[in-house]
């Protein structure tokens, strides 16, 4: 598996910079923090895979701008082309609708943590789940159609994570700097 620094270089190679890079770094911070905490509690989570996959979860954003692919499919293609199929398998389950699509539901801790961490970040700031859902409705009105089914499942995932960890959902330990 590539290192954290190599993943950052790969993001640059594929044009990920500015606010998208800041977003990715914040999602990574949350996902890795939760992965380490879950591992401490005895859960079977691959912290290294969570680290690299959370960094690369939006690697397809730039390619998607110039092709008919969405950013997730573009990211999976990039990662497969780079010989990182395992990471591609993890990132393909991070879209908001994944939780309601039978073949895309996050099932591993790594998939769940990246999916969840992405739901907790607005641009590059940590937000509550409710704040992020409101943000998504505003920015992507077309997703409203499946949010009724998705939101309870996302909240259940959040409850599962934080019941195991027995820590506050507000993630005050992580700074919005």
Per-residue tokens: 135: 């943000």
- Nearest residue to 121 via CA among 43, 21, 49: 21
* Domains, the chain: 4-165 (1.10.3210)
CA distance 115 to 136: 14
Per-residue tokens: 13: 């190679």
125-126 and 121-122 strand pairing? antiparallel
Supply the pLDDT for residue 177. Answer: 64
Identify whether the C-beta of residue 10 lies closer than 8 Å to the C-beta of residue 88.
no
Supply the pLDDT for residue 146. Answer: 84
The b-or-e profile of 118-143 (16+ CB within 10 A means b, else e) is bbbbbebebbebeebbeebeeeeeee
Supply the pLDDT for residue 55. Answer: 99
**Per-residue pLDDT in tens (0 to 9) along the chain, 177 residues:** 999 999 999 999 999 999 999 999 999 999 999 999 999 999 999 999 999 999 999 999 999 999 999 999 999 999 999 999 999 999 999 998 899 998 899 999 999 999 999 999 999 999 999 999 999 889 888 888 888 899 999 999 999 999 999 898 999 889 776
């Amino acid at each position: 598996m590539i290192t954290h620094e190599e993943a950052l270089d790969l993001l640059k190679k594929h044009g990920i910079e500015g606010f998208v890079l800041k977003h990715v770094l914040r999602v990574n911070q949350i996902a890795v923090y939760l992965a380490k905490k879950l591992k401490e509690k005895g859960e079977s989570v691959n912290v290294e895979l969570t680290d690299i996959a959370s960094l690369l979860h939006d690697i397809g954003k730039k390619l998607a701008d110039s092709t008919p692919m969405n950013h997730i499919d573009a990211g999976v293609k990039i990662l497969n082309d780079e010989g990182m199929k395992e990471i591609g398998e993890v990132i393909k389950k991070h879209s908001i609708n994944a939780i309601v699509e039978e073949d895309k539901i996050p099932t591993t801790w790594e998939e769940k943590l990246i999916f969840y961490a992405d739901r907790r970040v607005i641009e590059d700031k940590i937000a509550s789940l409710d704040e992020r859902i409101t943000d998504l409705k505003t920015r992507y009105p077309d997703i409203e159609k499946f949010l009724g089914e998705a939101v309870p499942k996302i909240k259940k995932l959040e409850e599962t994570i934080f019941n195991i960890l027995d820590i506050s959902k507000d993630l005050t330990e992580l700074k919005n700097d």
